Amino acid sequence: MIEIIRDDITRLDVDAIVNAANSALAGGGGVDGAIHRAAGPELARASMALAPCAPGDAVITPGFALKARYVIHAVGPVWRDGERGEPELLRSTYDRSFAVARAQGDITSIAFPAISTGAYRFPRRLAAEIAMDSMQRHESWFTRIVACAFDAETEQMYHAALD
């Protein structure tokens, strides 16, 4: 089941949360910085040991001080003009996150932020469509998939893409 909510992803009670990470996995602004702050300094050490991570890929670490037992660090693409494979890379980012979660073996619930829609400037409507498509294709493997929106606009776009 796909659940669309507006909340702080760092407070969600799920097995894994997905971090919209940068390639260096070093923490940054937006959701990435919020997850690193909430998880504590151990997350930076654990994630940076797995760097670099290419756009379209994902890696996993423990969740440390988070409610979530795991953090899946997913690197989405920077939007340039849509002609450089950005939609395919974003789809890969979601698909790789699901693959990493399944490979872990004990993740049944997972929450995603709106990957690449902040500083990476990916168009929100297209990103929501890609996210919902990927979530629908993988939902049979999970008991709960959460699309966690930070604002009302993203929440509405998720609903429109799911309908």
Q: pLDDT tier at 24 (50, 70, 90 boundaries)?
A: very high
Delineate the domains of the chain, giving CATH numbers in brackets: 2-162 (3.40.220.10)
- pLDDT score at 55: 97
Q: pLDDT tier at 57 (50, 70, 90 boundaries)?
A: very high
Task: Judge whether 108 and 16 are in contact, CB under 8 Å.
Answer: no
- pLDDT score at 28: 87
Amino acid at 40: G
Judged against a pLDDT cut of 90, whether residue 1 lies above it is answered with no
Strand order of the sheet with strand 2-6?
A: 2-6, 144-149, 109-112, 16-21, 70-75, 58-62
Given 7, 13, 32, 151, which residue is catalytic? 32
Q: pLDDT tier at 53 (50, 70, 90 boundaries)?
A: very high
Q: pLDDT tier at 66 (50, 70, 90 boundaries)?
A: very high
- pLDDT score at 10: 98
Judged against a pLDDT cut of 90, whether residue 108 lies above it is answered with yes
- pLDDT score at 127: 98
Judged against a pLDDT cut of 90, whether residue 152 lies above it is answered with yes
CA 61, CA 51: separation in Å to the nearest integer?
12
Active site residue 57: no
Judged by DSSP in three states, 123 sits in coil
Residues 6+ apart with CB under 8 A from 106: 15, 69
Nearest to 47 by CA among 57, 29, 62, 34: 62
Nearest to 31 by CA among 77, 71, 86: 71
Torsion, Cα of 59, 14, 41, 131 (10° steps):
50
Averaged pLDDT of the chain:
97
Task: Judge whether 70 and 62 are in contact, CB under 8 Å.
Answer: yes
Judged against a pLDDT cut of 90, whether residue 129 lies above it is answered with yes
